[in-house]
Amino acid sequence: MHTIHIPVMGTGFSIDTPIRVAPFGISSVMSIMDDMLVEKIRKHYCEKFNLAFIPIARWSEDARARRITAYINTVQEIVQIKFEKIKSLPFHESNDKEKYFTMLPDESPLKLAYNKLMNMTPGKKREDAEKSLTDKMVKGSIDANIMVKLDRENRDRKGNVLPLEYSDSKAALRGYANSIVESSIIFSAGINQSLYSYMSEFKDFYRNKKGDLKKKIIIKVSDFRSALIQGKFLAKKGLEVHEFRIESGLNCGGHAFASNGQLLPVLLKEILEKRDQLAASFKPLIHKYYEKMGWEYPDSSADHTPLITVQGGVGTPGEVKRLQKDFNIDKIGIATPFLLVPEVTCVEPTTFNKLKEADVSDLYLSEVSPLGVPFNNLRHSVSEEHTASQVEIGDPGSPCPKGFLVSNTEFSEVPICTASKEYQQQKLNELSTKMEDGAELALEEVKVVTKICLCDHLGNGALINLGIKKEEKAPQAVCPGQNISWFNREYSLMEMMAHFYNKQKSLISEERPHMFAKEIQMYVDYFDRLIKKSDFNERTNKTLNEFYENIKSGMEYCRTFSQKQPFTSENIDSINVWIDEQSVRLEEMYNNAFGELVEA
């Protein structure tokens, strides 16, 4: 069907994206980490589609998992209603059925059959073709994302610690596993062995006698080694990875998990060369588990190999084609540009307008995340302005209404969030007591109070956009990739899909640098960041040198692409230009840092 899918965007921006695009055959991903948000969104859509809504109270038994199950089931029901309505529409008219087939990539067998149908003369043969084509229509996948680092231990209303299966990630997994949907669960932000082991309790993650998987597993990984390690761990439980999803460490939205200087093309080259090793390593372990359980592994699935998909910074059809042709990529994930497509994402007007007008200087890698992980941010977002105003009036920090990002135990046995009032006020008091240098104190205070309540603020835009919450009571955070600076107006779903499938004139300027070039600049910027934070001990020096060597060798590999014939709208000439510029910057940074060290 489609070779493009829409990845998760924050907790709120893609929370209802499957409802919007799955009826048109396009797969997308929604976050299921915020059960308070999904409960509100479920109520909204049940009312909109006249579906029964029975609220699930926050403190009721297994509320988190049950809320998530109920929401996913509601999304599935609505998607099916909308999909059946599209299927029932006639051909040869301007309607959503025409839209469904028009958006398909030109090489899709379904699109080829549709084009053939459009040239047929009326009669029994055409009617049979119409029925056959309608029967072959499929929905997009309703996929869900779990950020595995967010696995808070939970307590009941009286403060008693609940069993481990009630932790945030396990409850979310249970909520997904108990739903009726046939789709994929995406695990991101590292490995959680306890969570992965818990998956073995749900039969939907194993093949039935026909060889079908009702629930598929997708792992977001940084490189081949990570794919091999995580895949083997799951395989020992008989669990198969359906897809490995590779994301640029920096050229993406949301939290940024930078590599040690290894650029995306280098990582993809290694995966291309070693791809066969993945299935070969997993299959014996999977078969062994099935034998141990007394199950028969279906012969029809013997040749299954994991898909390899890529996302992060893709902006032109030429870049899509480059990833497909040079690295044998099965599907491409495109997120940030769809923030400007109201048919796809849930973005309220204030943030939408800020995104339209944003240029590259408005987009930066920030320290606002309570997780302590660099976070792609938009300058002057409502959330950023709200957080600054709270500091100005002497009331920094959030009341922490949700608590999904709690992790700090400096001042309490029970973890609290570094964006909370409880933490920030105690930390600021501690700093003022310990530090005498005013300038140094001010710098440390800024580090504390810039943390943003991402749990709440990332979901507020969806609530405002759907009319559930008032804007003045709901600060909105947003986490776009820097790619957004090249998209500057409202777009329709049709034209955005046509853009990436190369069916129309490019939507963006020819001056936009190639995604490989932009990533190089981001990694050199990140190297500068590492140097400024470094204490230059033996360990950090080793890390910096490894980072430096990896970028240098990565840039040389990227130069090879500048010698190739460009695909449509692929600014391949920019690669050498940007490498030349960034090489000079890199050498200056390295020499300044290590030259001074040698002299000392």
pLDDT digits (tens, 9 = 90+) for 141-165: 999 999 998 888 888 888 888 899 9
Residues 6+ apart with CB under 8 A from 535: none
pLDDT tens figures, 171-208: 999 999 999 999 999 999 888 999 999 999 999 999 99
Does the residue 488 lie in any domain? no
* pLDDT of the residue at 433: 92
How buried is residue 62: exposed, middle or buried, by Cβ count under 10 Å (0-12/13-18/19+)?
A: middle
Quote the CA–CA distance of 67 and 415 in Å, as a whole number: 24
Domain final residue pick, 302, 337, 372: 337
Mean pLDDT of the 537-554 span: 94
* pLDDT of the residue at 138: 97
pLDDT tens figures, 342-373: 999 999 999 999 999 999 999 999 999 999 89
Residue (of 188, 276, 271, 198) closest to 239 by Cα position: 198
Let me know whether 382 and 528 are in one domain: no
How many structural domains are present in the chain? 3
pLDDT tens figures, 257-299: 999 999 999 999 999 999 999 999 999 999 999 999 999 999 8
Quote the CA–CA distance of 217 and 143 in Å, as a whole number: 10
Let me know whether 333 and 358 are in one domain: no
* Residue 485 main-chain phi, psi, to 5 deg: -65, -15
* CA angle (456, 361, 247) in 5-degree steps: 60
β-strand pairing of 363-366 with 375-378:
antiparallel
Let me know whether 320 and 389 are in one domain: no
The DSSP code sequence of 126-155 is HHHHHHHHHHT--PPPEEEEEETT-----B
Let me know whether 373 and 276 are in one domain: no
* pLDDT of the residue at 598: 46
Let me know whether 142 and 232 are in one domain: yes
* pLDDT of the residue at 599: 46
* pLDDT of the residue at 147: 92
pLDDT tens figures, 477-516: 999 999 999 999 999 999 999 999 999 999 999 999 999 9
Sign of the torsion formed by the C-alpha atoms of 196, 199, 204 and 209 = positive
Mean pLDDT of the 462-482 span: 94
Quote the CA–CA distance of 55 and 462 in Å, as a whole number: 19
Residue (of 18, 1, 21) closest to 138 by Cα position: 1
Under a CB-based contact definition with an 8 Å cutoff, are residues 20 and 6 in contact? no
Residue 2: pLDDT band by 50, 70, 90 thresholds?
Answer: very high
Let me know whether 199 and 254 are in one domain: yes
Is the pLDDT reported for residue 249 higher than 60?
yes
Let me know whether 294 and 361 are in one domain: no
How buried is residue 566: exposed, middle or buried, by Cβ count under 10 Å (0-12/13-18/19+)?
A: middle
Does the residue 501 lie in any domain? no
How buried is residue 517: exposed, middle or buried, by Cβ count under 10 Å (0-12/13-18/19+)?
A: buried
Average pLDDT value over all residues in the chain = 94
* pLDDT of the residue at 438: 87
Under a CB-based contact definition with an 8 Å cutoff, are residues 394 and 520 in contact? no
Does the residue 455 lie in any domain? yes
DSSP reduced 3-state for 569:
coil
Please list the residues that pair with 364 across neighbouring strands. Answer: 377
DSSP reduced 3-state for 375:
strand
DSSP 180: S
- Indicate which CATH number applies to the domain containing 306: 3.20.20
Does the residue 344 lie in any domain? no
CA dihedral 175, 11, 484, 320 (to 10 degrees): -10
Mean pLDDT of the 235-245 span: 96
* pLDDT of the residue at 414: 87
Let me know whether 305 and 360 are in one domain: no
Does the residue 114 lie in any domain? yes
* pLDDT of the residue at 596: 56
Residue 600: pLDDT band by 50, 70, 90 thresholds?
Answer: very low
**pTM for this entry:** 0.94
Mean pLDDT of the 381-401 span: 93
414 versus 5: the higher-pLDDT residue is 5
Quote the CA–CA distance of 559 and 561 in Å, as a whole number: 5
Does the residue 100 lie in any domain? yes
Does the residue 370 lie in any domain? yes
Domain extent for 415 = 349-477
Report the percentage of the chain scoring pLDDT > 90. 88
Quote the CA–CA distance of 138 and 442 in Å, as a whole number: 58
* pLDDT of the residue at 285: 96
Let me know whether 92 and 179 are in one domain: yes
Mean pLDDT of the 103-113 span: 96
Let me know whether 147 and 269 are in one domain: yes
How buried is residue 324: exposed, middle or buried, by Cβ count under 10 Å (0-12/13-18/19+)?
A: middle
Residue 517: pLDDT band by 50, 70, 90 thresholds?
Answer: very high
Let me know whether 542 and 442 are in one domain: no
* pLDDT of the residue at 156: 86
Domain final residue pick, 288, 312, 337: 337
Let me know whether 99 and 225 are in one domain: yes
Domain final residue pick, 433, 455, 477: 477
Does the residue 9 lie in any domain? yes
Length of the chain: 600
